């Protein structure tokens, strides 16, 4: 029932989303340099059975069987320019496969926002050594948030994932290598999702329901694979642009200003919100902690928003 309301809000949305994140070529999210040394409390002997963290993985053969009877859109694997950005294969004005990166296109089953009066806070790219201070702040609050985690990070810091899961937060997939999914083959996309799902399941004992494509990069081929594997794609409708925090000339105070504006509009806005932030570095975590009390006007976790 709540999911239906959520999807209704999506259908009513008229916001157009430009591609907000231009990845550096193959660059992984935030460095952990300079942060406290990680002290694991458990041993996870299965770690070595996984692909190398952040490397593009290959699927187990049985995973490809899951697509056997599926109708997946025949969108081309999108090529990358030398700077790592995607090269639009379509003529101007055409978007046959609803590629969000090029046109902001979305399908009714994608989750971009939720119903009026609700707000889902989402944090991507963790867990990292920078993450725990954010967990500490969240521990003191009753509200729950959503973390879209990278598989390679999960096997490096499994205790962190256990901590946020036990604290009641939602855990979603953010792929294994954090690459642009439309630039990957179908086999690679399956591997990105299934290895990350497997790691999450091994660590917390529960399979994730939601996934977020890195950089929001998704077209109908990616959507088809994601849905056939049983996941729900989630983008956002409010970007803090915290991923630009180290870009020369970027004014970090704009993040706070945007949060204040969203909070100010929340009671009268026609729809709710899903905001994008990152626990990928100390700077983004510091900013997340700073804006948390501002956005905390009316938020619910993604799970609460979308439970059926």
Q: Is 124 marked active-site?
A: yes
Which residue's CB comes closest to Zn ion? Answer: 124
Instruction: Give 20 or 89: the residue with its C-beta nearer to Zn ion.
Output: 20
In the complex, the smallest distance separating the C-beta of residue 208 from Zn ion, rounded to whole angstroms, is: 15
Sign of the C-alpha dihedral computed for residues 178, 181, 184 and 189 taken in this order: positive
How far is Cα 15 from Cα 290, in angstroms, rounded to an integer? 27
CA angle 75, 60, 122 (to 5 degrees): 65
Q: Minimum Å distance from CB 48 to Zn ion? A: 25
Asked if residue 214 lies in contact with residue 191, where contact means CB atoms within 8 angstroms, the answer is no
Listed residue (122, 27, 35, 38) closest to 80, CA to CA: 27
Kindly identify the residues of this chain, within the stretch 186-205, that bind Zn ion according to CB under 5 A: none
Q: Which is nearer to Zn ion, 9 or 211 (by Cβ)?
A: 211
φ, ψ (nearest 5 deg) of residue 263: -65, -40
What mask of x and - would describe binding to Zn ion in positions 116 to 135, judged by CB under 5 A? --------xx----------
Indicate if 278 belongs to the active site.
yes
Listed as own residue / partner, the contacts of 86-94 with beta carbons closer than 8 Å and 24 or more positions apart are 86/180, 86/182, 86/183, 86/217
Q: Does 152 bind Zn ion (CB under 5 A)?
A: no
Provide the minimum distance between the beta carbon of 183 and Zn ion in the complex, in angstroms, as a whole number: 15
Distance, in Å, from the CA atom of 238 to the CA atom of 15, rounded to the nearest integer, reads: 10
CA quadruple 10, 234, 89, 98: dihedral sign: negative
Catalytic residue among 219, 242, 278, 279: 278
Q: Site size for Zn ion, by CB under 5 A?
A: 3
Tell me how far apart the alpha carbons of residues 183 and 288 are, in angstroms, rounded to a whole number. Answer: 30
For the CB of residue 21, give the shortest distance to Zn ion in the complex, in Å. 8
- Please calculate the CA angle 22-224-236 and round it to the nearest 5 degrees: 40
Radius of gyration of the chain (CA): 18
Taking the least distance from each CB to Zn ion, the nearer of 242 and 271 is: 242
Name the residue nearer to Zn ion (CB basis): 119 or 236: 236
Active-site pick, 32, 110, 118, 124: 124
Q: Specify the DSSP element, H or E, that contains 294.
A: helix 282-295
Stretch that binds Zn ion, among 44-52, 93-101, 187-195, 208-216 (CB under 5 A): 208-216
Shortest spacing between CB 212 and Zn ion, in angstroms: 7
x/- mask, Zn ion, residues 213-242, rule CB under 5 A, reads: -x----------------------------
Is the Cβ of residue 125 or residue 217 nearer to Zn ion in the bound state?
125
Helix axes 158-166, 132-139, angle to 10 degrees: 10
Measured from the CB atom, the residue of 174 and 263 that comes closer to Zn ion is 174
* Shortest Å distance, C-beta 70 to Zn ion: 26
Known catalytic residues are: 124, 278
Binding site for Zn ion (CB under 5 A): 124-125, 214
């Amino acid at each position: 029932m709540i999911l239906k309301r959520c999807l209704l809000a999506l259908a009513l949305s008229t916001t157009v989303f430009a591609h907000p994140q231009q990845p550096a070529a193959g660059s992984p999210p935030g460095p952990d340099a300079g942060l406290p040394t990680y002290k694991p409390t458990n041993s996870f002997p299965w770690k070595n059975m996984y692909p190398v963290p952040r490397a593009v993985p290959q699927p187990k053969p049985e995973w490809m069987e899951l697509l056997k009877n599926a109708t997946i859109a025949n969108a081309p694997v999108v090529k990358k320019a030398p700077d790592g950005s995607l090269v639009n294969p379509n003529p101007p004005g055409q978007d046959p496969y609803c590629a969000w990166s090029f046109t902001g296109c979305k399908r009714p089953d994608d989750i971009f926002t939720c119903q009026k009066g609700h707000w889902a806070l989402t944090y991507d790219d963790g867990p990292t050594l920078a993450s725990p201070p954010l967990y500490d702040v969240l521990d003191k609050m009753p509200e729950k948030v959503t973390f879209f985690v990278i598989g390679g990070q999960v096997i490096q810091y499994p205790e962190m994932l256990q901590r946020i899961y036990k604290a009641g937060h939602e855990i979603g997939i953010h792929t294994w290598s954090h690459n642009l999914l439309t630039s990957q083959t179908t086999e690679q996309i399956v591997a990105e999702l299934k290895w990350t799902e497997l790691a999450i399941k091994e660590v917390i004992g529960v399979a994730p329901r939601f996934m977020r494509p890195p950089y929001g990069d998704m077209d109908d081929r990616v959507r088809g694979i994601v849905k056939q594997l049983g996941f729900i794609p989630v983008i956002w409708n409010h970007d803090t642009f915290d991923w630009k925090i180290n870009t020369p000339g970027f004014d970090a105070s704009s993040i706070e200003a945007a949060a204040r504006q969203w909070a100010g509009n929340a009671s009268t806005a026609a729809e709710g919100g899903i905001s994008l932030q990152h626990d990928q570095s100390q700077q983004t975590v510091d900013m997340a902690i700073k804006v948390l009390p501002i956005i905390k006007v009316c938020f619910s976790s993604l799970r609460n928003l979308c439970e059926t």
